[in-house]
Amino acid sequence: MARPYSVDLRELAVARVEAGETIREVAEALCISPSCVAKWTKRKRETGSVLPGKMGGHRKRTLAGESAVWLERRLSDGPFTLKGLVEELGERGVTTGVRAVWVFVHDHKLSFKKNRARQRADPPRHRP
């Protein structure tokens, strides 16, 4: 994972811009991209600091709370498809994707299992 540039470099770049050099001149002299210098200058102007912002972290799952309780009840009601569950959640006002529903279903150890009745539909060459 990438790391932010050092605070020393950021402060040096911003100081040179504030001293009158252009962003491109500073970027070339310090071997960094002009967009970095521009963003650091803007950050200094807006917040008074050039410290980097937070990187990474944990995103909360979209299917939590009331929608999770409803989904658990729905999963126990009977057969389902992931796309069908996404549509049902959409009708309830929860915008989510198939991947989020799959993760929820997987966490609850639920999956489609083939049964013997389904095997009867196979062509004769697959029968024992």
Average of pLDDT values for 39-58? 91
More confident residue, 77 or 83: 83
First to last CA, the chain: 53
Rounded CA gap, 3 and 109, in Å? 37
CA–CA gap between residue 91 and residue 98 (Å, rounded):
15
Q: Which whole number is the average pLDDT over 60-80? A: 83
Residue 34 has pLDDT above 90, yes or no: yes
The predicted structure's pLDDT at residue 2: 82
CB neighbour burial string for 23-41, b if at least 16 within 10 angstroms, e if fewer: beebbeebebeeebbbebb
Query: 95 or 123: which carries more pLDDT confidence?
Result: 95
- Quickly state the pLDDT bin for 5 (edges 50, 70, 90): very high
* Higher pLDDT pick, 23 / 126: 23
C-alpha dihedral sign at 13, 16, 20, 26: negative
Q: How confident is the model at residue 77 (pLDDT cuts 50, 70, 90)?
A: confident
Average predicted confidence (pLDDT) for the chain: 85
Q: What is the pLDDT of residue 25?
A: 96
pTM (global) more than 0.85: no
126 vs 54: which has the higher pLDDT: 54
Task: Please give the Cα distance from 53 to 43 (Å, whole number).
Answer: 10
